[in-house]
A and B are shown apart, each in its own frame.
Chain A
Amino acid sequence: MGEFYSVAVAGKKQQADTGTKMIHIGPRTRSTIISKGISTARGQNAYRGLVKVLPGATDARNFTQCDSLLIGDQCGAHTFPYVEAAEPSANLEHEATTSKVSDDQLFYLRTRGMSEEDALNMVVNGFCKDVFQKLPMEFAVEAEALLGITLEGAVG
């Protein structure tokens, strides 16, 4: 069972191109990839991943989920999932979503007493929850805090 979880942020004019390689060697091997990409300002975020099933890796299974979150309207998100399967019995799934932090979401949270920055953090952390909940508690807290710092000034 191979697992890969990631959160990537591209802000300012950054271009991020991140991802993983998952190589299935043995029969009945399984793997999961969950990748979250956040783009703000004029950042461009790309997920690039390879899932490879070698000869002999019969009945290999992979599930890949790529979610992108856009903050503002000058950023972008891209997904490049590569798949190479040498065994016809392989079962490879790929799901991708793109969503945007909406003004409605931020306004809703602000009317509940949260500052604009706290509101954004809440939406972004919700988006990353699938990944953060895999982390040990202490790391998850650190990751959330780091994300908060990274996103400072992303709205307003």
Chain B
Amino acid sequence: MLVIRNLHARVDDKPILKGINLEIQAGEVHAIMGPNGSGKSTLSSVLAGRDEYEVTDGEVIYQGQNLLELEPEERAWAGIFLSFQYPVEIPGVKNIYLLKAAVNAVREHRGQPELKAGEFLKLVREKLKIMQMDEAFLHRNVNEGFSGGEKKRNEILQMQLLEPTLALLDETDSGLDVDALKIVGEGINRMRDPSRSVLLVTHYQRLLDIVKPDYVHVLADGEIKLSGDFTLAERLEREGYEGIEAA
């Protein structure tokens, strides 16, 4: 599904990723953990195509194609979804309008017919229920005045609607209280599928208790220092990043 080889990236001449190697197969859930400033968010941004990051070396192959050549929207059409750490406000644009435009943009490029208003509303209501969100959400402006938890739920709602092949979830657990964490975690679990892969970026183990990853990687100073199974996350929680790095 996704192969990252020797990926180097920098922002404003400051190297952030210094040789990432990672392979994700279909159906797998990988968690990337690491201290602040280790490059976790940079990795997900580079994969989604944010252009303030300059890739200086390495390659990323997604479903056999060179991902780095694609524009962000082309990546979305190819089934990549990024859940933002800080979802962006779009004043004056209703949430439902964005959701519908996004779903139909992706459908168009997958050769599926555009959803009619009624069909779309039915679909979105079903997903709102899963995320335990009120219908009033649809008529508020995109992320404007949303609480931290509401923004994150809205991201996972979008993921449910867009049905990506590769979901990049950047600190989707930050800013969530216990109940919201459970809703978001279960929302992610529902999306687990043999044909779909997930890359979870997180600081803490708490989300991983709900969404059990197949692999855990520790990112520090722009490199993957350690990889393992779920028990690595438990070890991190006990010993901290410093304990792991010293070992």
Contact = CB atoms under 8 A, between A and B. Distances in A.
Contacts of B109: 113
A122 B76 contact: no
Nearest to B88: A108
Interface string B54-78: 0000000000000000011101110
Contacts of B162: 112-113
Contacts, number: 76
Interface residues of A, number: 24
A148 to B, nearest CB: 14
Given A108-B90, A118-B101, A122-B101, 17 more contacts: A103-B52, A104-B88, A108-B84, A108-B87, A110-B71, A110-B76, A111-B49, A111-B80, A112-B98, A113-B73, A113-B105, A113-B109, A114-B73, A114-B102, A125-B93, A127-B91, A129-B93
22 contacts: A103-B52, A104-B88, A105-B88, A107-B51, A108-B90, A109-B90, A110-B72, A111-B49, A111-B80, A112-B101, A112-B102, A112-B105, A113-B162, A114-B101, A115-B73, A118-B101, A122-B97, A123-B90, A125-B93, A127-B92, A128-B92, A129-B92
Interface of B: 48-52, 71-73, 75-77, 80-82, 84, 87-93, 97-98, 101-102, 105-106, 109, 141, 158, 162
